[in-house]
Amino acid sequence: DIQMTQSPSSLSASVGDRVTITCRASQSISSYLNWYQQKPGKAPKLLIYAASSLQSGVPSRFSGSGSGTDFTLTISSLQPEDFATYYCQQSYSTPTTFGQGTRLEIK
């Protein structure tokens, strides 16, 4: 299985901050990388697919980049509703696997 490692595991930031979350794959996955946001008690929500494509309806302050083994999710200016847990997911091979999550908290 391809292992996905996110860093940091948790992060404290303030409204208006620029935040970057990193996801590293244990082998090259081309651009088959997706990002999700999950709030407590809710299902994950798709933000970014294919490394850099913004899902319809997702604010443009979210962006993704990377290819191969290293990927980033950037939030350009944190809003109060962005405090949540973020997961990356590789769909390069089955079984599809997720990172362990990055919890974004209010500073």
Partner 1 sequence: QVQLQESGPGLVKPSETLSLTCTVSGGSINNYYWSWIRQPPGKGLEWIGYIYYSGSTNYNPSLKSRVTISVDTSKNQFSLKLSSVTAADTAVYYCARHPGVYLGGYFDYWGQGTLVTVSS
Sites of contact with partner 1 (CB under 8 A): 31-32, 34, 36, 42-46, 49-50, 55, 87, 89, 91-101
**Nearer to partner 1 by C-beta: 78 or 101?**
101
Number of Cβ within 10 Å of residue 2's Cβ equals 18
**Nearer to partner 1 by C-beta: 76 or 91?**
91
Place of tokens 């798709």: 46
- Whole-number Å distance between alpha carbons of 6 and 10: 10
Of 42, 47, 90, 40, residue with least CA distance to 69: 90
Kindly report whether the peptide bond that precedes residue 95 is cis, defined as omega within 30 degrees of 0. yes
**Nearer to partner 1 by C-beta: 1 or 15?**
1
Place of tokens 């208006």: 16
For residue 77, the minimal CB distance to partner 1 (Å) is 25
For residue 49, the minimal CB distance to partner 1 (Å) is 4
**Nearer to partner 1 by C-beta: 6 or 82?**
6
For residue 16, the minimal CB distance to partner 1 (Å) is 29
For residue 90, the minimal CB distance to partner 1 (Å) is 9
Please give the angle made by the CA atoms of 32, 54 and 8, to the nearest 5 degrees: 65
